[in-house]
Amino acid sequence: MKTVVITGSARGLGFEMAKVFRRNNVNVVISDLNEEKLANAKKELEEIESEAQVKYCVCNVTSSENIQNLIDFAKKEFEVIDIWINNAGVNQPEKPIWELEESEIDLVLDVDLKGAIIGSKLAMEEMSKNKKGAIYNIEGYGSNDAMMLGLSMYGTSKRAITYFTQALAKESEERQTGVIVGRLSPGIMITDFIVTALGDKDKIQLSDKTKKVYNILGDYPDVVAKFLVEGMLKNEKNNAKIEWLTNRKAAWRFMTAGFNKRDFFGDGTKLLNK
């Protein structure tokens, strides 16, 4: 039975990926900042019928000790980590770069970039000992060079994650570690992430124009998670990019937007803080 470790997985994409792994009989270690939210998430995951187990471990990805502790915990519970996903992330306040506080810039870079770098480094140290495993990082706005006022620091970190993950894949191949490294590209998901900044400290007021784009291109995270997890379970190639919202799919969504009226932001939305 395989084991996956997912950072930032008490809610959102990480939590939805954990559900899909469970349905596929993969042991899951969820991790996040808050123990109570993790315990609730574990309970919900255990309602899914599976031959596999779920464990949780508090881990703040801005601490390398916390990440090492998560690795040690997963090893103690399941011996081997087969898949490691650096998923934890925070959004930034909707401001131009020069209006951000230095502490806000630090948090975005520490979680979204350095957290994934140290997560990858420590997971690679562990997996390369066994000469097998897979490490995935999450792309996002900016990974493909897109720019928009209010997303520049987040975009800087995601652009860097793309380069970093490709570079790590190359180094892994050259050193013949036996570990594959890849990118997950989830497109736009209707999660708390798009309406909160800096880990729920700030609210983001989406403009009507942004809501319109999200209604066309966005998806709930369960839909995206199913696609990404099935892609990871099939993938055996190093340097893979598992991409949900391809350019083709985005163009099709715009072309058919007139027939497919979607409203994620109206009454009854699932967009809620857990």
Q: Which residues bind ligand NAD (CB under 6 A)?
A: 7-8, 10-14, 32-33, 59-62, 87-90, 111, 138, 140, 186, 188-189, 191-194, 199, 221
Cβ-based nearer residue to ligand NAD, 78 or 193: 193
- Give the residue with the Cβ less far from ligand NAD, 113 or 177: 113
Closest by Cα among 212, 190, 220, 221 to 257: 212
Q: What is the 3-state secondary structure (H, E, C) of 238-264?
A: CCCEEECCCHHHHHHHHHCCCCCCCCC
H/E stretch holding 174: helix 152-174
Instruction: Decide whether 70 or 177 has the Cβ nearer to ligand NAD.
Output: 70
- Compute the least distance from the CB of residue 35 to ligand NAD, in Å: 12
Report the residue number, 87 or 177, with the smaller CB distance to ligand NAD: 87
Burial of 216: CB neighbours in 10 Å, binned 0-12, 13-18, 19+: middle
Number of residue whose CB is nearest ligand NAD: 12
CB of 41 to ligand NAD, least distance (A): 9
Spot the catalytic one: 154, 163, 214, 220: 154
Is 154 labeled as catalytic in the residue annotation?
A: yes
Residue 78 · residue 129 · CB < 8 Å: no
Q: Are 150 and 179 in contact (CB under 8 A)?
A: no
Closest approach, Cβ 15 to ligand NAD, in A, equals: 7
DSSP conformation class of 194: G
Active site residues: 154
